[in-house]
Chains A and B, each alone.
Chain A
Amino acid sequence: MSRSYTPKVVTANDLRLGDVVYLTHSGQWSRLHHEAALYSAEDAANAALASAASQSLIVVGAYLADAKAGPLGPEPVHFREVFRTRGPSNYAHGKQVDLHEPAKVA
């Protein structure tokens, strides 16, 4: 029987820049959390992670992170993942300015 499974996104860091990236439905990498593919089944999530891990010329350190569905797309659940969507809190550096759009806060 299927256990309850917390939905996941696949996230990693860009190999060259280190910036946080998310795996999309098309198998591309996006800088935006809400463009990530959200996997509600464990098998699909693990398969996506395996595919991501094989893209070692593009990303580094791929892993599955808990997420939930939101109006624009997946939203992070844990505060660590929220911070990864926007950058540090002490300077206007990272995604919160690089993406030229307001950071989404869960």
Chain B
Amino acid sequence: MYSYSDFDEGFVRTRVAQFIGQVTRRLDGSLTEEEFRPLRLMNGLYLQLHAYMLRVAIPYGTLSPHQMRQLAMIADTYDKGYGHFTTRQNIQFNWPKLPDVPAILGALADVEMHAIQTSGNCVRNVTADHFAGAAADEIEDPRPYAELLRQWSMDHPEFQFLPRKFKIAITGSPHDRAVTRAHDIGLRMVRNSDGIAGFEVIVGGGLGRTPMLGHVVRQFLPIPDLLPYVEAVLSVYNTLGRRDNKYKARIKITVHETGAQEITRMIEERFVETRAQFGGADQALLDDIRAAFAPPAFRNGDTSAYDTAYAADGAFRAWADTNLSKHRAGGYAIVTVSLKAHGDTPGDATGEQMRILADLAETFGHSDLRISHEQNVILPHVHKSDLPAVYAALKAAGLATANIGLLSDIIACPGMDYCSLATARSIPVAQELAMHFKALDLEHDIGPIKLKISGCINACGHHHVGHIGILGLDRAGVENYQITLGGDGSELAAIGEKIGPGFAYDQVTPAIERLLRAYIALRQEAGESFINAYRRLGPAPFKAALYGEGDHLDAA
């Protein structure tokens, strides 16, 4: 993986030194909170409901075992023994004390990590397919381009005060695991008619208050044009974006108000200028970065140990069926480690679990770890013969939950248990749903489904692109949950439809059970997934099921 250059190292160390001084001056009164607040936010430090929260970037979701162990150390030393992995491939520490934060940033810098640009109106952590470099369907590993974008966007003087925050996602695979159509810029690797790889460029997607899918502004962008083209997009947005109204400031609104055709024209016009300014240094840099992402030395080995365990051990088989994905290299598998044990908090890992994952990656996984936007941890390169040992170690650590892609593999934002923006809780709703369907023993029967929960309209829980989306709101001082159906975050991206009035906190689980029992009754055969049945039948029968017991309605 990529290692910091002297420039990266110097930049991050300088920022840590600056922040030490800023915290000292805040605590001695030299800085007011108004002066300090933007400085702490530039270093990822938020104030939430019960405590400060430090948001640390995990660039394109890639971590080394060494870095994961340092996150564990921070969790144990400065927090309450755990960290929360987010839908933007960040990790959040929920209980840091202000005087400790400079030391935490120093500890992060020791392992080439930081919390810079995890807040503010700048280019945020560039996210990527969590199976990058491993997926069987991949055109090319997208992470060298994500790293190039990271270096370009880090402290870019022109883009530190954009109209609003800016999120870029990239995938190298036709199957979109990075939700590219719901980002400010989505980059999908494609091949042109000559078989050459490049990017489809999607602009103006986003969730939040006004969910929109992005528009394709370039069907094929040659790889050498990546930075000048992205810079042209940012440049046009920086000029046109609505700084007068926070709720209209994201590029999705700029695209919507300007028109996809006109904004495409403006981007192309600006691109002529930006391309002339790039003298090829970016391509030389890209060559160096590519070398850092060379595939590991995959081994050829006998996989009969896997076949034997698969045949003999039902629990291993259930886990293998849900948590393994096809790898590009023969004899290998991609392991998704669920951070969704039934009843636990989605996306949380204890310091001890982080250390075990680091050890497993080192021993069995070519020292590579990924964090998915679905709040799980990936061991991207595991030889099949090692899977029984990996499974046994995960099981002992409470990390062998066999539920990837099933109902209890829920995305949930922190909600009002932590977040100061939230309007309702998310986590306990996810916990109850997972426990309820486990007790019913229904989730394997229900099959693949994406259930996503947000605790406010900002939609960190991606509820708009959940097959079932749940949005927590405050209706006249009471938690109320709106349900959307039919959303999709994949290459078939769709924004879910709001189905009707919301449900009271204690009525969400019964409503979802009615909905899913109706799906089981309506599907053509066990192989028709919830989303396919919904697409075939439309919302009517599902709406009828949701509201089947009218006396539970909360007419919000």
Contacts and interface: CB of A to CB of B under 8 A. Distances in A.
B17 to A, nearest CB: 21
Contact of A83 (B27, B80, B416): B416
B29 A90 contact: no
Contacts of B94: 88
Contacts of A83: 49, 416-417, 425
Given A56-B32, A84-B49, A89 B98 contact: no
Contacts of B48: 18
A27 interface: no
Interface of A: 13, 15-20, 56-57, 60-61, 77-80, 83-84, 87-91, 93-95
A50 to B, nearest CB: 15
A89 B425 contact: yes
Given A77-B477, A90-B431, A93-B80, A20 B50 contact: yes
A94 B49 CA distance: 10
Contacts of A87: 50
Contact of A89 (B32, B80, B95, B428): B428
Given A20-B49, A56-B29, A57-B29, A15 B98 contact: yes
B427 interface: yes
B543 to A, nearest CB: 28
A90 B52 contact: no
Interface in B404-420: 416-418
A57 B33 CA distance: 9
A93 to B, nearest CB: 6
A67 to B, nearest CB: 13
A79 B477 contact: yes
Given A79-B477, A80-B416, A16 B99 contact: yes
5 contacts: A15-B27, A17-B97, A18-B98, A80-B416, A88-B94
A90 B417 contact: yes
B338 interface: no
Contacts of B50: 18-20, 84, 87-88, 93-95
Contacts of B416: 79-80, 83
A84 B96 CA distance: 17
Interface string B418-450: 100000010110010000000000000000000
A77 B474 CA distance: 13
B80 to A, nearest CB: 6
Interface in B2-61: 26-27, 29, 32-33, 47-52
